[in-house]
Structure 1
Amino acid sequence: MSNNLYVEQRPDGSYAVRKPGAERASAVEPTQRQAIDRARQLNPDAAIHVERVRNTSGGSPDKWRKP
């Protein structure tokens, strides 16, 4: 079993917490910060990967970052 969780922005602007390969989200939160906090509650030992939602000097929206 993978010890990863992904925080992804949904089309409606909310954020989903997903396990790799999952069709359904484990949780949905209104903000990215709340989704990261929820991911930590769901699995404190998980590596959390957060989808970039804007361009920065460190990456573009198609890249993942640490929370």
Structure 2
Amino acid sequence: MSAPALSPVLLTTLEAADALGISERKLRDLTSPRGPIRAVRLGRLVRYRPADLESFAIDHRSPAGAPTKPR
């Protein structure tokens, strides 16, 4: 019997940006203290909890049927 696959406890900036569908630069702009996304700092390393990313995505989703901004 194999052990169940564990999801990572902390995500890198690249992994977190991919999960949110944004660039790493945009993620850095949205990371606290400047922005609303919480991060874990380990010395110079910045990591993200999946639960914090999910919370951000839920809090900032568009209402159903809301028009999107044209590009």
Give the alignment's TM-score, normalised by structure 1.
0.28
By percentage of residues, which structure has more helix? 2
Structure with larger Rg = 2
By percentage of residues, which structure has more strand? 1
